[in-house]
Amino acid sequence: MEKKVASFKEYEIFMADKSCLNEIANFIVRENYSHHLSSFTEEDINKDIESVLEEEEYLYDNKSYIYIARDSFGNMIGCIRSFHWDRHKTLPIEKIYGINPLNTIHQENKYSFWHIGRFAVAKEAGISTLTLFKRLMALAVKLIVEDKYSYMIAEIDSKLLKVMKVLGFGSRQIGRSIDYLTSETVPVCSSKRGIKGFFSKYGELCKAV
């Protein structure tokens, strides 16, 4: 089920649920391959789609927040996912990099950890992909900004990480980068203060929510 949260001239943004995970996995993997590789096989794509879907189904719970953007034809042109970590499930950052936030960031019970992931914007959407990125990211981190003691954890494409820094996003690299889903990906964390630099500038973009 999808619930509309914002409407714009070229697209609408919805909050989605578990029923959209298969579509999201397909979209994310195909966009990553399209952005970063010139040659690949359908077998490669399907293997990564299966892996992403399996991971997202494992992570999904009642504190998962998925935002997707659709054009006027109903095609997915962007997505992002945020969820509140229960401190028990194995996070992607631990599975891929061997990093446990409790050991690397904070062990105190008062701190919350939000994992941001599965961000993608359609390469050929014919819109301002930067504006859509700002809107989706603002929606995802809004939950963290509203949480008193909170940290964001994420695995971010190295090029996108540079863009986020320019946009005022303060983050700290907490491990070595590796190639994941076709691109160099960096494990990072951001405090609430680090996120506010971005959100204070672009939070208004999701005000329609």
Instruction: Give residue for tokens 């994310």.
Output: 28
User: Which residues form the domain of 78?
Assistant: 3-203
Q: What is the DSSP string of 13-55?
A: EEEE-GGGHHHHHHHHHHHHHHHH-S---HHHHHHHHHHHHHH
pLDDT class for 209, splitting at 50, 70, 90? very low
In a domain, residue 10? The reply is yes
For position 187, what pLDDT does the model report? Answer: 94
pLDDT tens by residue, 79-95: 999 999 999 999 999 99
In a domain, residue 208? The reply is no
Report the CATH number that the domain containing residue 93 is assigned in CATH: 3.40.630.30
For residue 53, what are its two tokens? 């879907």
Total domains in the chain come to 1
Q: To 5 degrees, how large is the angle CA 95–CA 99–CA 104? A: 160
For residue 77, what are its two tokens? 């042109």
For position 142, what pLDDT does the model report? Answer: 92
Coil, helix or strand at residue 173: strand
In a domain, residue 54? The reply is yes
In a domain, residue 50? The reply is yes
pLDDT tens by residue, 114-151: 999 999 999 887 888 899 999 999 999 998 999 889 99
pLDDT tens by residue, 185-206: 999 999 999 999 999 999 888 7
In a domain, residue 96? The reply is yes
99 contacts: CB under 8 Å, gap ≥ 6? 93, 174, 175, 187
For position 205, what pLDDT does the model report? Answer: 81
In a domain, residue 163? The reply is yes
In a domain, residue 209? The reply is no
In a domain, residue 57? The reply is yes
